Structure 1
Amino acid sequence: MCADLWSFALSTYARPGVEAACLRLQEQGEDVCLLLCGAWLERRGVAHTPERVQALQQIAHPWQVQVVEPLRLVRVQWRGMAQQDAQLASLRERVKTLELEAERTLLARLEARAQAWPINEVVGQNEWLEGLATEAANLDRDALQQLRVVVTNT
């Protein structure tokens, strides 16, 4: 089991099918960093409570809206033009790097908030993913299930 959230997120994302599931969830407006944090908390046996969900959402939402999403929007908008313009392609890669760093910073903030929560409080509790996902993601059970499988099989 990965001790830190960043390592967990990287190893989880690299597993077969997870990247596609995360991208589908992201297209539906989900905060994939928040969902990966939920998967990490489930794996660690941290008890799911409404107060803890709210604490994580209060950290994640503003950062996603004000930092990550604007970077992602620029990167996506430049995709087509960057195929024809090497200088823009280079700038786009730098924006992509910034976007990844912004996500890493968010994961660090989420981890810092969750550090005080006891691990191994519960066994087999699978409420974090559904508790952190929006209604749209809860309708896409396949994508959430892909994350769930990784959590339970690592």
Structure 2
Amino acid sequence: MTLWNWTLSAYARDGAPQACLTLQDVHGQNTSLLLWAVWAETDDARLLDRAADVARRWEALALGPLRDIRRALKPAFTGVEDDARQGLREDVKAAELRAERVLLETLETLSKGRGGAHALTALEAASRAWGRPAPPDALAALAAALG
């Protein structure tokens, strides 16, 4: 199964969206990197460092700006019709999702098979590689949601 398809399936599990959003919005994590680490079953520090470097650069170039624009377009804006604003917000949301997919597909190319690490171990290692480790309970919540 491709990483993209696995991610869509994983994100549909109970608790996964909330755990991902908490890790992203509260703890500053890159959820694509975290999900990739679980999919790849890796805790290899060198591989995770390479992946985190790509994710950081893509976050700065594409994901972060698109997310900021999408969020800025959420409230009403005086002088602009709500339907027009919401339509643009949906377009930006689609671009943000495409940017997530590009990152996941890029990370998938770094994988050379599965490493055998358990989900929580992979999440902890990826969080460290990202540079701002998330609290263990937040990582454990995602690991539990992913099964």
Report TM bin, short chain: 0.7 to 0.9
Residues 13 and 77 (structure 1), Cα distance of their counterparts in 2 relative to 1, 3 Å cut: same
How many residues end up aligned between the 2 structures? 142
Question: Partner amino acid for 2:52?
Answer: Q
Provide the residue aligned with 1:30 in structure 2.
29
* Deviations, residues 50-74 of structure 1 (Å, cap 9, x unaligned): 1111111121110011100100000
What value does the CA root-mean-square deviation take over the aligned residues? 2.2
CA distance in 1, matches of 2:28, 2:119: 25
The gaps in structure 1 that reach 5 residues or longer are none
Select which of 72, 76, 81 maps to 2:67: 72
Q: Which 4+ residue blocks in structure 1 deviate beyond 4 angstroms? A: 123-126, 134-137
Provide the residue aligned with 1:57 in structure 2.
52
Please give the secondary structure, in 2, of the residue aligned with 1:106. Answer: helix
The gaps in structure 2 that reach 5 residues or longer are none
CA distance in 1, matches of 2:39, 2:60: 22
Provide the residue aligned with 1:106 in structure 2.
103
Under a length normalisation based on structure 1, what TM-score does the superposition of the two structures give?
0.82
Counting aligned pairs with the same residue, the percent is 32
Conserved? CA contact 2:119–2:143, under 8 Å: no
Provide the residue aligned with 1:142 in structure 2.
137
Please give the secondary structure, in 1, of the residue aligned with 2:13. Answer: coil
Conserved? CA contact 1:137–1:144, under 8 Å: no
Provide the residue aligned with 2:38 in structure 1.
39
Residues 89 and 125 (structure 1), Cα distance of their counterparts in 2 relative to 1, 3 Å cut: closer
What are the within-5 Å matches in structure 2 for residues 2-21 of structure 1?
3-21=1-19
